[in-house]
Amino acid sequence: MKKSILTAGCFLIGIIALAQSTDIEKVKATVDKQDIKNHIYYLASDELKGRETGTPGIEKAADYIADKFKAYGVQPVKGAEEGYFQHVKLKNVTVPTSIKASIGSTDFAKENLALLKGDNIVTAGQAVFLNYGTAEDFEGKHVEGKVVVTYAGGPDQTDPGSLFKLALQKRGLAQKAGALALLEIHEFNPQYWSSVSGYLNHEKMTIFNGSEEEDGLAHLWVNDTSKMLTTLKVGENLKVKLTVNGIDNKTLTSRNVVGMVEGTDPKLKKEFIIYSAHYDHVGVGAPNAEGDSIFNGARDNAVGTVTVLSAAENIARYPTKRSALFILFTAEEKGLLGSKWYVEHPLIPLEQSVYCFNSDNASYNDTTKATIVGLERTTASQHIKDACAAFGLTAIDDPAPEQNLFDRSDNVHFAAKGIPAPTFSLGFTAFDAEVFKYYHQVTDNPETLDYDYLEKFFRSYVLSCRNIANADATPVWVEGDKYYEAGQKLYGTDR
Ligand SMILES: [Zn+2]
């Protein structure tokens, strides 16, 4: 009796070891150094000019990824366009070349004005003062075709978060009431104002959800340094002159690249593991001393793109129990926009998307490690550690919490929705000079990478994917995590 249990035990251990070694063999069969090199040398080539969103270079990268998906046998996702794409609507917002305003008898100098949102306008007419511009303040007031003037923030809400949040509320109310423009009066100290207006007077890209007309309302922040407007009376009619000129906003469509492989387990295939990375980078900038002006972004994030390509090739050939969803995001460098768009327009219901295994990279300083930002925050940590160990690497958690890296990449939009979402990165033990040497520098080139290390790194990622996607238990947030409750809300409390 004893002996047969022992024999059965040995047999079981043998099976587990065999399953593990088979998965290692499967990973080795598809992830190899030369393929990795080919992908990175193309994605980070000068031909793609740094893959900036809105330029032809990034479109070439998107087509390359889609061609690989097709070659691997990755399936298109229902609702995707032209096979493997999700269109992402963006707007490139420029700054006015001239901006002038006077309220009542007070003229404001250009340096005390900043456009928060909206389009060119030239007007001279009526303004109405609505205190803090709350819903009650708007009630019963006739503001159609007029300029609305309000104080910024709320009576006790002047912290930066509230200022921006309440500004959007006021904007919505002003638009609904048919106002011509909205001016908010601030009393910032000069240093703080210069950082706020510096941020606003800066070309940027945003998600474009609305229509041109809705987006057009000129919305200005006015810094009333000499407190000329502190005695305005609610409902008071004022004369106003307003000129905003030279804005040249353009909408554009960019592309997330998406594909899937259906799982093999009749029950678990309803659950999707997302494998994601951004494939854009920052484009072309000022030349360095050697005359190089192309930010090729080999580490950031051709490497991340290839983690997902490696997983796609492997899982298409050897499907896992859970289904796989591969997403390469556009416009991460413009403010995590492609991933934001995806979670707002998911192609697979978010509650079926049980895990997001993201990859993003600055650089590395330790080729014995893989750094997983958020490693210990989900119950998948052992799967990742085991996979790294199988290829001679040590998995470590975020060594630089002060950089707030977890909330600075695409994974954060998934986390905020409740989806466990760590980020798998090249091994770094500190965000130090060695990392900054390449992080967002023209030196981030393919020939500066250690491909022996990369082979271990990509194999570790793909084996982690297999371990997570084949495990009996669905990975969840560790109890008490910042996003634990969001997870309970998304999936229900019985998980
Ligand atoms: Zn970056």
pLDDT tens digit string along 451-468? 999 999 999 999 999 999
Q: What angle do CA 37, 33, 329 make, to 5 degrees?
A: 55
Query: Strands, DSSP E only, in 104-153?
Result: 106-108, 113-117, 121-129, 147-151
Q: What is the mean pLDDT of residues 114-124?
A: 93
Q: Calculate how far, in angstroms, residue 333's C-alpha sits from the geometric centre of ligand 1.
A: 6
Q: Calculate how far, in angstroms, residue 440's C-alpha sits from the geometric centre of ligand 1.
A: 6
pLDDT tens digit string along 242-282? 999 999 989 999 999 999 999 999 999 999 999 999 999 99
Q: Calculate how far, in angstroms, residue 477's C-alpha sits from the geometric centre of ligand 1.
A: 26
CA-wise closest residue to 130 among 143, 116, 149: 149
pLDDT bin (cut points 50, 70, 90) of residue 495 is low
CA-wise closest residue to 114 among 224, 207, 20: 224
Q: Calculate how far, in angstroms, residue 451's C-alpha sits from the geometric centre of ligand 1.
A: 21
Task: Report in angstroms the alpha-carbon separations of 8 from 1, 4, 14, 221.
Answer: 11, 6, 10, 75
Q: Calculate how far, in angstroms, residue 127's C-alpha sits from the geometric centre of ligand 1.
A: 44
Q: Calculate how far, in angstroms, residue 226's C-alpha sits from the geometric centre of ligand 1.
A: 41
| Residue 7: per-residue pLDDT | 56
Q: Calculate how far, in angstroms, residue 208's C-alpha sits from the geometric centre of ligand 1.
A: 22
Q: Calculate how far, in angstroms, residue 88's C-alpha sits from the geometric centre of ligand 1.
A: 19
Tokens standing for residue 95? 């700054």
H-only helix segments in 321-410:
337-344, 381-390
| Residue 134: per-residue pLDDT | 96
| Residue 237: per-residue pLDDT | 83
Q: Calculate how far, in angstroms, residue 176's C-alpha sits from the geometric centre of ligand 1.
A: 38
pLDDT tens digit string along 52-70? 999 999 999 999 999 999 9
Q: Calculate how far, in angstroms, residue 116's C-alpha sits from the geometric centre of ligand 1.
A: 25
| Residue 225: per-residue pLDDT | 83
Q: Calculate how far, in angstroms, residue 54's C-alpha sits from the geometric centre of ligand 1.
A: 16
Residue 465 has phi, psi (to 5 degrees) of -55, -50
Q: Calculate how far, in angstroms, residue 441's C-alpha sits from the geometric centre of ligand 1.
A: 10
Q: Calculate how far, in angstroms, residue 299's C-alpha sits from the geometric centre of ligand 1.
A: 9
Q: Calculate how far, in angstroms, residue 331's C-alpha sits from the geometric centre of ligand 1.
A: 10
Q: Calculate how far, in angstroms, residue 104's C-alpha sits from the geometric centre of ligand 1.
A: 46
> What percent of the chain lies above the pLDDT cut of 70?
95
Say how many Å lie between the first and final Cα of the chain, rounded.
Answer: 38
Question: Is 60 exceeded by the pLDDT of residue 167?
Answer: yes
Asked if 460 and 427 touch (Cβ cutoff 8 Å), the reply is no
Q: Please, which residues have CB within 8 angstroms of residue 347's CB and are 6 or more apart in sequence?
A: 77, 78, 79, 80, 86, 258, 325
Q: Calculate how far, in angstroms, residue 242's C-alpha sits from the geometric centre of ligand 1.
A: 38
Question: Is 60 exceeded by the pLDDT of residue 2?
Answer: no
Q: Calculate how far, in angstroms, residue 203's C-alpha sits from the geometric centre of ligand 1.
A: 18
State the Cα–Cα distance between residues 79 and 348, nearest whole angstrom.
Answer: 9
Task: Report in angstroms the alpha-carbon separations of 414 from 196, 385, 405, 423, 493.
Answer: 29, 22, 14, 11, 18
3-state secondary structure 44-103: CCHHHCCCECCCHHHHHHHHHHHHHHHHHCCECCCCCECCCEEEEEEEEECCCCEEEEEE
pLDDT bin (cut points 50, 70, 90) of residue 234 is confident
pLDDT tens digit string along 306-351? 999 999 999 999 999 999 999 999 999 999 999 999 999 999 999 9
Q: Calculate how far, in angstroms, residue 411's C-alpha sits from the geometric centre of ligand 1.
A: 14
pLDDT bin (cut points 50, 70, 90) of residue 1 is very low
Neighbours of 225 (CB within 10 A): 16
Least confident of 91-105, 152-166, 228-242: 228-242
Least confident of 35-39, 72-76, 405-409: 405-409
Q: Calculate how far, in angstroms, residue 185's C-alpha sits from the geometric centre of ligand 1.
A: 35
State the Cα–Cα distance between residues 227 and 188, nearest whole angstrom.
Answer: 10
Q: Calculate how far, in angstroms, residue 136's C-alpha sits from the geometric centre of ligand 1.
A: 44
Report cis status (omega within 30 of 0) of the bond before 301.
yes
Query: Strands, DSSP E only, in 109-249?
Result: 113-117, 121-129, 147-151, 181-186, 204-207, 218-223, 237-245
Q: Calculate how far, in angstroms, residue 314's C-alpha sits from the geometric centre of ligand 1.
A: 26
Q: Please, which residues have CB within 8 angstroms of residue 376's CB and are 6 or more apart in sequence?
A: 397, 478
Tokens standing for residue 196? 């706020």
In order of start, what are the domains of the chain with their CATH numbers? Answer: 28-91+253-491 (3.40.630.10), 98-248 (3.50.30.30)
| Residue 387: per-residue pLDDT | 97
Question: Is 80 exceeded by the pLDDT of residue 3?
Answer: no
State the Cα–Cα distance between residues 210 and 315, nearest whole angstrom.
Answer: 38
Q: What is the mean pLDDT of residues 79-99?
A: 94
Question: Is 60 exceeded by the pLDDT of residue 14?
Answer: no
| Residue 301: per-residue pLDDT | 97
Q: What is the mean pLDDT of residues 115-130?
A: 93
pLDDT bin (cut points 50, 70, 90) of residue 230 is confident
Q: Calculate how far, in angstroms, residue 220's C-alpha sits from the geometric centre of ligand 1.
A: 31
| SS3 of residue 238 by DSSP | strand
